[in-house]
Amino acid sequence: MLAIRRVTQRASVAFTAATARRFPVGSTVRLLTTTSAQTDRETISRLLYSIGTKREVERYLRIFSASSHPSQPAKFAVIKVGGAVLDQLDELALSLSFLYRVGLYPVVLHGAGPQLNEIIESEGVTPDYIDGIRITDARTLGIARRVFLEENLKLVTALEKLGTRARPITSGVFTADYLDKEKYGLVGKITRVDKRPLEASIRAGALPILTSLAESTEGQILNVNADIAAGELAKELEPMKIVYLNEKGGLFHGVTGQRLDVINLDEEYAGLMKEPWVKYGTKLKLREIKELLDHLPRSSSVAIIKADSLQKELFTDSGDGTLIRRGYKLFKHDSIEAVGPDRIRQVIHDRDPEVQNGTQSVSGVLNDLKKTPYTIYGDEPFDVVAIVSHPPGEIPVMTKFLPSKNGSLNSVTDNVFNSIKKDHRKLFWTAPAEDENRAWHFERADGSFTRAGKSLFWYGIHDVDEVERAVKEMEAKGRIERPYLPVGPSVPPHRLASSTATTGARSYSTFTRGALTQKKAPGSTRGYATAVESTTEKKRVALIGARGYTGQALVSLLDGHPHLSLSHVSSRQLAGLPLEGYSKSPVTYSNFSVEDVEKMEKEGEVDAWVMALPNGVCKPFVDAVDKGSKGRTDGKKGVIVDLSADYRFEKQWTYGLPELYSRSEIRSSTRISNPGCYATSIQLLLAPLLPYVDLRAPPTVFGVSGYSGAGTVAGQTDPDGRPTTTPKVPPDSLHGGIRPYSLTDHIHEREASVHLSSLLTLSPSSSDPAAPVSGLDVETGPGAEDALVRSGGPLKLSFIPVVAPWFSGILSTASVPLKDGIKITARDVRALYEGMYKDERGVKLLANVPDIKEIMNQHGWVFGGCQVHSSGQRVVVVGGLDNLLKGAATQCLQNLNLALGYDEFAGIPLP
């Protein structure tokens, strides 16, 4: 974005033509369509491609350019600029100039609250408010008018310096009556908006810059709240976008602290207003925006963003602030009759590319539906319609996905697709290779490949052999119309661009989604973000093996979870006794047999199972869940998270370390192996250094754990007859020291080696092998998937575990030899960790070596302290975690949250 702003500024100085925007011949618009103006537009358009895909940018430019007509030129956007944003004048002017350079004319209205407060206080006037409304007497109004005019002139001048024509409009637009003269003084309530001065400005090739001052019919100037003025202006102009620029850049979730990405009012407003964290200013803002959007066409939407995010918000699907739209309630029906035969026929006739090119008929499409059970998904106005075929026991196929332009613009596509994902953990679908929304399909797929002008996409399958088997079966049954086999090997993203440039054709691209990060890339889109792309549906968990330290820690976490409830706990020693430490509802320990588990799964009594059992014990229970799920009538399957080592090397299970491996795999999985505590710390500690590791001299990790990591054994009964547990390694047996154990071949050594091997990187791409890391073309952190590939290469590390006399917490120290020719500094090493983990909420980076007190009772992983040997070819780094929390229970809850559709950190009290 910084590069874009710099080039925009240079372009603004170099090009003085107003715009290359085209209106029909005969229009009265005065435009300069010189060669330099066209070059200006093309230059800025190309710069936009760096923040979004070319298809995205061109689509939005086309839609926005077509939104206005010479008879109504002000229908693109109303931008309300908060007073605090006016203090960032250069950023604001550059962002507005950017729009002007691509031929778009927003109507800009600004406030000046902070500036006004500063001046009236300096002049001895104390601001006074009633119900949040500034009481305005004649003296205050005089100051306000002066401040508004000065700020307006500053913005107009800043724009003109950039070669952007702007026109100050400080009166003549808003007519108002007194809101309550006795109570508020000279404060107005807008009764009329005259849009003619705004349209005249745009026809003259200048951006209209307004203040929120109004006049009464008698000519008295009245003060009007700028947000209210922007709303009234939008009601009159009916623009596609209403943008509120503020210093925060959006609305934020009151519990998680995350910015809300999208709010769909028709679907979410009632529930949102009942949320305990939605209060005061947030509740008022939501109410005002809903009232505004209720007056506007459904194609209109509101965005709350920072000034420097304006381009990304307007020209990419992912956006960069909070998008608020009305949306529609969604439907799903299992028959054409329930949807309406005439309506579905019309949608297929108008939107289906195969019907339009003559390869299928509407009747043929409808007849094909009858061959298998199906569900039709969509929204009330049919902006998006999708059809999913789902024969019993087979992977569903989305046979049709038919969005309108409005559905694509307002991301109704995301809402419908998310509804499908809630019902189907696996899905195949196809799309034409030339589909203008191709990037949208790639973003939602876990894998894809293209042949004969069509692309096959899928999610929920992460094994290429399973993909081949599924495609063969669907081809044999006629569920897909083209032979897509064989499935080719994946092409790493960093190679894809070069191969495409050379051949001019897209290669097979299987498993296209990155494994390491979840940062939005160009072309990604918003989903439901009020709940941070998550559900709030209440679900139930059964815990088998609740007696140990990990089980107790998980019980405590579930007690504070906003949506999950612990409905069953099983422990042979504690059967019949009440569960302690859980306050949501009374729970009594059971002693489940495998038959009990099978029956509970078959009847859908729980949504998820947690196996907190010793190694080698849980397989019968897993088999019972598998058997019970086959008898379920709802087609669902209970999620299992296994805390033992039994399934950490099984391909059919998903390895649940979200910070390093694909979160999308965990979200679509029902069988998740929870990593070991030492193994988690080792992998997080070594992953950023993998591109530089000398595989001939593998890393050595020295891990020191509290005695709780050794587990528990049955102790004596307490006075109430309740069985107790005692540490397997009592702290007094250590005599204040430490005790190394399992000196070779510890299972976590193998676990960390195997999974880190799947993330081995290519060598740093530098012509100078001795170049410092800062000069290497190796990416880390968000976007690191372009540098890290699942090569499956071998990494053999050495690991020595040690038990210590504190209760919980692991400190891991790694000594890492580097490849020949690699020179690195401690600052470079630090930058690698900051790059990879800067967006990870569960990772904390310290300046110094962490102390055990900074690790114990913490729910995330902690890194701190790195040094480089004087030779520059060996790095020593330190990290740690609480073995009962991030090493077990907290990580288990992360995996449960992802698999069940919640926010990843729901119920996890991160600082």
Q: What is the CATH number of the domain that holds 736?
A: 3.30.360.10
According to DSSP, the β-strands at 700-706 and 810-817 are antiparallel
Residues 642 and 747 in one domain: no
CATH code where residue 658 lies: 3.40.50.720
Contact (Cβ atoms closer than 8 angstroms) between residue 729 and residue 852? no
Q: What global pTM score does this model have?
A: 0.49
How far, in whole angstroms, is CA 585 from its chain's centroid?
A: 33
Instruction: Give domain status of residue 888, yes or no.
Output: no
- The pLDDT confidence band at residue 720, using thresholds 50, 70 and 90, is low
Integer Cα distance of 859 and 841 in angstroms: 10
- 232 in the same domain as 313: no
pLDDT at 11 over 60: no
Last residue of a domain, one of 322, 343, 358: 322
- pLDDT band at 673, cuts 50/70/90? very high
Are 601 and 650 within one domain? yes
Q: Are strands 241-245 and 77-81 parallel, antiparallel or unpaired?
A: parallel
* Residue 725 buriedness (CB in 10 A; 0-12 / 13-18 / 19+): middle
Q: Write the CATH number for 154.
A: 3.40.1160.10
What's the pLDDT score for residue 32?
33
For residue 514, the model assigns a pLDDT of 35
224 and 290 in a common domain: no
618: annotated active-site residue: no
pLDDT band at residue 713 under the 50/70/90 scheme = low
- Ranges 172-176, 366-370, 683-687: which has the least confidence: 366-370
Whether residue 768 is predicted with pLDDT greater than 60 in this model: the reply is no
High-pLDDT (> 70) share of the chain, %: 81
Same domain, 279 and 310: yes
Burial, 767: exposed, middle or buried (Cβ in 10 Å; 0-12, 13-18, 19+)?
Answer: exposed
In terms of domains, do 355 and 468 share one? Answer: yes
Asked whether the predicted pLDDT for residue 519 surpasses 70, the reply is: no
Look at residue 491 and tell me if it is in a domain: no
Partnered with residue 451 across adjacent β-strands are: 454
pLDDT at 364: 87
Asked which of 444, 477, 510 is the last residue of a domain, the reply is 477
Q: What confidence category does residue 520 fall into, taking pLDDT thresholds of 50, 70 and 90?
A: very low
- One domain, residues 79 and 163: yes
What's residue 34's pLDDT?
A: 36
Residue 533 lies in a domain: no
CA distances from 210 to 73, 87, 155, 306, 310 (A): 16, 17, 10, 19, 19
* In the predicted structure, residue 894 carries a pLDDT above the cut 90: yes
Given a cut of 80, is residue 757 above it in pLDDT? Answer: yes
695 and 844 fall within a common domain: yes
Task: Specify if 730 maps to a domain.
Answer: yes
Pick from 206, 239, 272: which residue ends a domain? Answer: 239
CATH number of domain containing 353: 3.40.630.30
Check whether residue 629 and residue 686 sit in a common domain.
Answer: no
d(CA 406, CA 401): 14
Output the CA–CA distances (angstroms, integers) from residue 236 to 170, 202, 219, 230, 710, in the order listed: 18, 16, 22, 10, 70
* Mean per-residue pLDDT of the chain: 80
pLDDT digits (tens, 9 = 90+) for 594-635: 999 999 999 999 999 999 988 888 999 999 999 999 888 877
Between residues 154 and 729, the one the model is more confident about: 154
Interior angle at CA 527, CA 523 and CA 532, nearest 5:
120
Rounded CA-CA distance 172/191 in Å is 13
Report the distance separating Cα 678 and Cα 685, nearest Å. Answer: 11
pLDDT in tens, 568-590: 999 888 888 899 889 889 999 99
* Whether residue 724 has pLDDT greater than 70: no
Q: Among the listed ranges 663-667, 679-683, 733-737, 814-818, which one has the minimum average pLDDT value?
A: 733-737
Rounded to 5 degrees, φ, ψ at 520 are: -65, 130
Looking at the structure, tell me whether residues 279 and 214 fall in a common domain: no
Query: Is 606 within the bounds of a domain?
Result: yes
Residue 346 lies in a domain: yes
Q: Is the pLDDT of residue 593 over 80?
A: yes
Distance CA 462, CA 329 (A): 32
Query: Which residue would you say has higher pLDDT here, 81 or 501?
Result: 81
Each residue's pLDDT tens digit, 192-218: 999 999 999 999 999 999 999 999 999
pLDDT at 698 over 60: yes
Residues facing 878 on adjacent strands: 813
Instruction: Write out the H or E segment, with its range, that includes residue 362.
Output: helix 362-369
Shared domain check, 634 and 684: no
In a domain, 125, yes or no: yes
Decide: 893 and 557 in contact? Cβ < 8 Å.
yes
Beta strands in 460-561 (DSSP E): 539-544
Residue-wise pLDDT tens digits, 317-340? 677 889 998 876 788 899 998 888
Domain assignment of residue 3, yes or no: no
Q: Which of 618, 677, 866, 892 is catalytic?
A: 677
Domain count, the chain: 5
CA distance 305 to 865: 37
pLDDT of amino acid 41: 54
Question: pLDDT tens, 814-832?
Answer: 999 998 888 788 888 999 9
Q: Are residues 466 and 597 in the same domain?
A: no
Q: What is the mean pLDDT of residues 145-161?
A: 94
Range of the domain at 460: 330-477
CA distance 396 to 191: 55
Q: Is the pLDDT of residue 529 over 50?
A: no
Which of 127-141, 179-193, 405-419 is predicted most confidently? 179-193
